[in-house]
Amino acid sequence: MSYVSRTLQGLKQSFPAQTEFYQAVEEVLETLPPVLEANPRYEEQNILRRIIEPERQITFRVTWMDDDNRIQVNRGHRVQFNSALGPYKGGLRFHPTVNPSIIKFLGFEQIFKNALTGLAIGGGKGGSNFDPRGRSDMEIMRFCQSFMTELYRHVGPTTDVPAGDIGVGTREIAYLFGQYKRLTKRFEGVLTGKGLLWGGSAGREAATGHGCVYFAQHMLEDRGEQLEGQRCLVSGAGNVALHTVEKLYELNATPVTVSDSKGTLYHADGIDLPLVRSLKRQPNGSLAAYMEEHTEAEYTPVSDYPADGHAVWRYPAFAAFPSATQNELTRADAEALVENGCQCLAEGANMPCEAEAVHFLEDVGIAYGPGKAANAGGVAVSQLEMAQNARMQAWSEERVDEHLQRIMREIYLRASTTAEEFGVPGNLVVGGNIAGFRRVAEAMIDQGAV
Ligand code: NDP
Ligand code: 2IT
């Protein structure tokens, strides 16, 4: 049995039912045989077995009082996956679906994504099954304070630096930061995505969505194509999705969809971004209300989605930007996209495409930017925020954007030149995984059996 197969088999035996984690691990390991053959040291040093094992996992109870003075209980997680390249770095997700498998898949992907940025950051992830939607501001504050009361002892600006993800934006980071400061007396860069008045970086909020569009531009440029004048599909209606929509408009492309957990909105003239922003700002805000202002638009509730996929991917467009959540794009969705003329898919979300969809897109050969490359702009600007905090500086938005554009170009070049080196030109899954893996593996070997 091969080193890859043995590693996967052992993983499934020791962590039953962690399906999203297996999916993320398989997706990386199946691309590694060429680099393992070229570097026998990686197997000799047992790198695969070590890299799939988190250095540390913390699980804790989070109790908090709701507005009716009832005690609520949630579960908190932080997975400190790999610190070969730097302090653990990665977001916190607050969503009812959060469980150890989800946090581990996200933490595992974060290792390779962060390595691919070329910056000195390790990989980690955390979160809770707490659902912020429909909760009052004070409930969110009490939850965040309780969450940090446990987490603070495990994090720090040179140890582990959490940030946002689904359900965690500037408001949640603010409450978490306030509680960290109260407990430690330290005003320092322990979290990224902070408010601009208290240590946040200009451009961080927009970085993932903007970076993802920059990445798509690089893929297309190499193929003599561009986004200008093209129709684009975007899923999600949160931070990543709406900043993707914003950047597409700046480039004179036309984003025609957004979606959320309740349904999909299609507007052939282009999504009315200010309206979507104001609808989603309301607690439990629904995209369905968009139709009151734009009767010509189309709203499909989740109950009317095709049995084998999602409504958002069934419209004709040149490019697709999945920016909501994992496994939101099936093989049937991918087939529909390609049949309808889609030439480019850049992942704003983490692991949005099912494994079968990824294999299909690779076979067809359209420009496909995997999340570990395409959505790395967010964590990259988080690292710039850490650098600014360490030097007590605040950079301008223009300066941050210049760095973001440079970093996205470098990620694209790293992934594409590595793909060429391994004889699969244009395959950014293989190129990105190998380029990230090699950096981490070399650093692990240098640091010995730790
Ligand atoms: P937000 O919480 O701001 O937005 C998430 C959006 O996705 C919402 O519109 C939400 O719908 C929708 N969504 C979430 N879960 C589901 C689901 N199970 N089914 C359908 N829709 C769903 O999160 P972000 O925009 O920050 O994150 C989106 C994706 O991008 C995630 O995969 C995240 O891991 C990834 N990412 C985020 C980065 C960041 O900097 N924030 C960086 C890199 C990747 P609803 O409003 O109905 O809940
Ligand atoms: O998935 C991700 O890269 C993030 N949620 C952002 C992580 C970060 O530390 O900024």
Supply the pLDDT for residue 400: 98
- Residue 208 Cβ inside 6 Å of ligand 1? The answer reads yes
Q: Which of 208, 243, 347, 388 is the best mutation target for the ligand 2 pocket, counting ligand atoms within 8 Å of the beta carbon and taking the most?
A: 208
Q: Which residue's CA is the nearest one to ligand 2's atom 10? A: 379
Query: Which of 166, 205, 279 for a ligand 1 pocket mutation test, highest count of atoms within 8 Å of Cβ?
Result: 166
Domain boundary among 357, 374, 391: 374
Q: What is the CATH number of the domain that holds 350?
A: 3.40.50.720
Q: Are residues 365 and 225 in the same domain?
A: yes
Q: Assess whether 155 and 221 both reside in one domain.
A: no
CA of 92 to the centre of ligand 1 (A): 12
Which ligand 1 atom sits closest to the C-alpha of 351?
32
* Helix ranges (DSSP H) in 269-353: 273-281, 331-339
- Do 232 and 349 belong to one domain? yes
* Residue 180 shares a structural domain with residue 96: yes
Task: Give distance in angstroms: CA of 92 to centre of ligand 2.
Answer: 8
Burial class from Cβ neighbours inside 10 Å (0-12, 13-18, 19+) for residue 54 reads buried
The enclosing domain of 63 has a CATH number of: 3.40.50.10860
Asked if residue 50 belongs to a domain, the reply is: no
What's the 10 CA to ligand 2 centre distance in angstroms?
A: 28
Q: How far is the CA of 165 from the centre of ligand 2 (A)?
A: 6
Which of 315, 345, 374 marks a domain boundary? 374
Domain count, the chain: 2
* Closest of 126, 95, 96, 125 to residue 113, by C-alpha: 125
pLDDT of 361: 98
Element containing residue 208 per DSSP (H, E): helix 204-221
- Are residues 116 and 231 both part of a single domain? no
Residue 447 counted as domain residue: no
Closest CA to 235 of 261, 209, 259: 259
Q: What is the pLDDT of residue 284?
A: 79
Which one, of 439, 55, 402, 448, lies nearest residue 203 by Cα? 402
Q: In this predicted structure, what is the pLDDT of residue 283?
A: 81
- Rounded to 10 degrees, what is the CA torsion of 247, 249, 250, 252? 130
- 161 with 67, same domain? yes
Q: Taken in order 110, 113, 119, 120, is the CA torsion positive or negative?
A: positive
What letter represents residue 254's amino acid? Answer: T
160 lies in the same domain as 284: no
Atom of ligand 2 nearest to the CA of 114: 3
**Spacing, Cα 173 to ligand 2 middle (Å):** 13
Q: Are 136 and 258 members of one domain?
A: no
**φ/ψ of residue 162, rounded to 5:** -70, 170
Output the pLDDT for position 140.
98
H-run or E-run covering 141: helix 137-151
In this predicted structure, what is the pLDDT of residue 313? 98
Instruction: Tell me, yes or no, whether 211 and 177 share the same domain.
Output: no
Q: What is the DSSP letter of 384?
A: H
Nearest ligand, CA of residue 244? 1
Q: Does one domain contain both 236 and 340?
A: yes
| Domain hosting residue 358, numbered range | 207-374
pLDDT per position in the chain (450 positions), as tens?
A: 999 999 999 999 999 999 999 999 999 999 999 999 999 999 999 999 999 999 999 999 999 999 999 999 999 999 999 999 999 999 999 999 999 999 999 999 999 999 999 999 999 999 999 999 999 999 999 999 999 999 999 999 999 999 999 999 999 999 999 999 999 999 999 999 999 999 999 999 999 999 999 999 999 999 999 999 999 999 999 999 999 999 999 999 999 999 999 999 999 999 999 999 999 998 878 999 999 999 999 999 999 999 999 999 999 999 999 999 999 999 999 999 999 999 999 999 999 999 999 999 999 999 999 999 999 999 999 999 999 999 999 999 999 999 999 999 999 999 999 999 999 999 999 999 999 999 999 999 999 998
Same domain, yes or no: 233 and 315: yes
In a domain, 265, yes or no: yes
Is 35 a domain residue? Answer: no
Q: Is 162 among the domain residues?
A: yes
CA–CA distance, 170 with 176 (Å, rounded to integer)? 10
> In sequence order, which ranges of 257-366 are alpha helices (DSSP H)?
273-281, 331-339, 355-364
Judged by DSSP in three states, 99 sits in coil
Choose one of 374, 407, 425: the last residue of a domain: 374
Cβ(86)–Cβ(120) below 8 Å: yes
Same domain, 93 and 145: yes
- Is 343 domain-assigned? yes
Sorted by sequence, the CB contacts under 8 Å of residue 89 that are 6+ apart come out as: 110, 114, 121, 122, 123, 124, 160, 161, 163, 379, 382, 383
Is 125 one of the annotated active-site residues of the chain?
A: yes
* Residue 324 within any structural domain of the chain: yes
Ligand closest to Cα of 87 equals 2
In a domain, 387, yes or no: no
Which one is catalytic: 89, 104, 113, 125? 125
- How many CB atoms are located within 10 Å of the residue 196 CB? 14
- Which H helix or E strand runs over 257? strand 257-259
Q: Which is the closest atom of ligand 1 to the Cα of 241?
A: 25
Nearest CA-CA partner of 180 in 165, 170, 190, 195: 190
- Residue type (1 letter), 311: A
